[in-house]
Amino acid sequence: MARAISKRRTVIVTILAWTIGLLIFFPILWTVITSFKTEAEAIADPPSLFWFNWTLENYNVVNARSNYPLHFMNSVIISLGSTLIGLAIAVPAAWSMAFVPSKQTKNILMWMLSTKMLPSVGVLIPIYLISRNLGLLDSRIALVVILTLINLPIIVWMLYTYFKEIPIDILEAARMDGASLKSEILYILTPMALPGIASTMLLNIILAWNEAFWTLNLTAAKAAPLTAFIASYSSPEGLFYAKLSAASTMAIAPILIMGWFSQKQLVRGLTFGAVK
């Protein structure tokens, strides 16, 4: 084969891939850049890409508004809380299904998956009414509980596929060595599955952080995470582009970084192990 052409081909591929990559990334890049402009520069015509006076003013303003840190903390608490509670419930369940499989295991897994298919809007009213009657509208507790339940099937599934890769011999060896079930899970299974548990955690924090149905419908001012806070910017047209950009950048930066770290495991998690 004519491998001589491959050099030219590589150049073309490189240029094409970089162009498309930058194009796809551009809206994010533009948001980040705009966040460093003044409001006047943000809507200047023609817009400038780099040659403007870079300023951190917008970040100061956004941070100084007392409610921004609150919403940021709400996002952290809700996504971290729901993920940790979810893990605590899912690790034992996944252990059971991976290491003591029965005829029901497959059915239970599929059923858990099916709860994920329930469209949120179908149960919006009851959840709204229950939250209202319990006085949990606009509370972090309600959101932590709901996001835990929404993501529980994904957590169970991901852990299940990771646990399945651990040879049962090693757990049996631990049993022979006198380990109780608790020790077996704590000292053998968990450390061995740590990479899997970590990526499960990462993916679920991302999903919870970006969840934008329940967070929008069940919160107002107090418990609103960043998704709902950002949505409140939707009314004033074109007036606060720079501040909007700064707030957006802060809202997506942590998750963007986490997501880049977990991209490999993301595929497995999002396809319920169907594509690895």
Partner 1 sequence: MSTQHSRSAARIMIAPATFLLLAWMLIPLCMTLYYSFRRYRLLTPDRQGWVGFRNYENFLTNPAFTSALINTLVLVLGVLIITVVLGILLAILLDQPFKGQGIVRILVIAPFFVMPTVSALVWKNMFMNPVNGLFAYAAKAVGLEPYDFLSQAPLMSIIGIVSWQWLPFATLILLTAIQSLDSEQMEAAEMDGASALNRFWFITLPHLSRAITVVILIQTIFLLSIFAEILVTTNGGPGTASTNLTYLVYAESLLNYDVGEGSAGGVVAIILANIVAIFLMRAIGKNLDA
Partner 2 sequence: MGQISLNQVTKSFGDVQVIPPLDLDINEGEFVVFVGPSGCGKSTLLRLIAGLEDTTSGVIKIDDTDATALPPAKRGLAMVFQSYALYPHMSVRKNIAFPLRMAGMDQAAQDAKINAAATALNLTDYLDRRPGQLSGGQRQRVAIGRAIVREPSAFLFDEPLSNLDAALRVGMRLEISELHKKLETTMIYVTHDQVEAMTMADKIVVLQAGVIEQVGSPLELYHKPRNKFVAGFIGSPKMNLIEGAEAEKHGAATIGIRPEHMTVSKSEGTWKGVVGVAEHLGSDTFIHVHETGLMDTMTLRITGDIEARHGDTIFLSPEMDKLHRFDAQGLRLV
Exactly one of 122, 126, 135, 191 binds partner 2 (CB under 8 A); that residue is: 191
Q: Does 165 bind partner 2 (CB under 8 A)?
A: no
Token code pair at residue 158: 């991901």
Q: Does 170 bind partner 2 (CB under 8 A)?
A: yes
Question: Which run of H or of E encompasses 250?
Answer: helix 241-261
Q: Does 100 bind partner 2 (CB under 8 A)?
A: no
Question: Which run of H or of E encompasses 181?
Answer: helix 181-183
| Cis check: omega of the bond before 46, within 30 degrees of 0 | yes
One-letter amino acid of 272? F
Nearer of residues 70 and 270 to partner 1, judged by Cβ: 270
Tell me the CA distances in angstroms from 91 to 153, 158, 263, one per residue in order: 12, 10, 22
* Phi–psi pair at 148, nearest 5 degrees: -60, -50
Q: How far is the CB of 227 from partner 1 (least distance, A)?
A: 5
Binding flags for partner 2, 236-265, as an x/- string (CB under 8 A): ------------------------------
First and final CA of the chain: distance in angstroms?
Answer: 32
Q: How far is the CB of 172 from partner 2 (least distance, A)?
A: 5
Exactly one of 14, 15, 54, 177 binds partner 2 (CB under 8 A); that residue is: 177
Q: How far is the CB of 168 from partner 2 (least distance, A)?
A: 9
3-state DSSP call for residue 167? coil
| Spatial contact of 205 and 51, defined as CB atoms under 8 Å apart | no
Residue with tokens 């990462």, as numbered in its chain: 202
Q: How far is the CB of 114 from partner 2 (least distance, A)?
A: 27
Could you say which of partner 1, partner 2, none residue 170 binds, taking C-beta under 5 to 8 angstroms by partner kind? partner 2
Could you say which of partner 1, partner 2, none residue 173 binds, taking C-beta under 5 to 8 angstroms by partner kind? partner 2
Rule CB under 8 A: which residues touch partner 2? 167, 169-170, 172-180, 183, 187-188, 191-192, 194
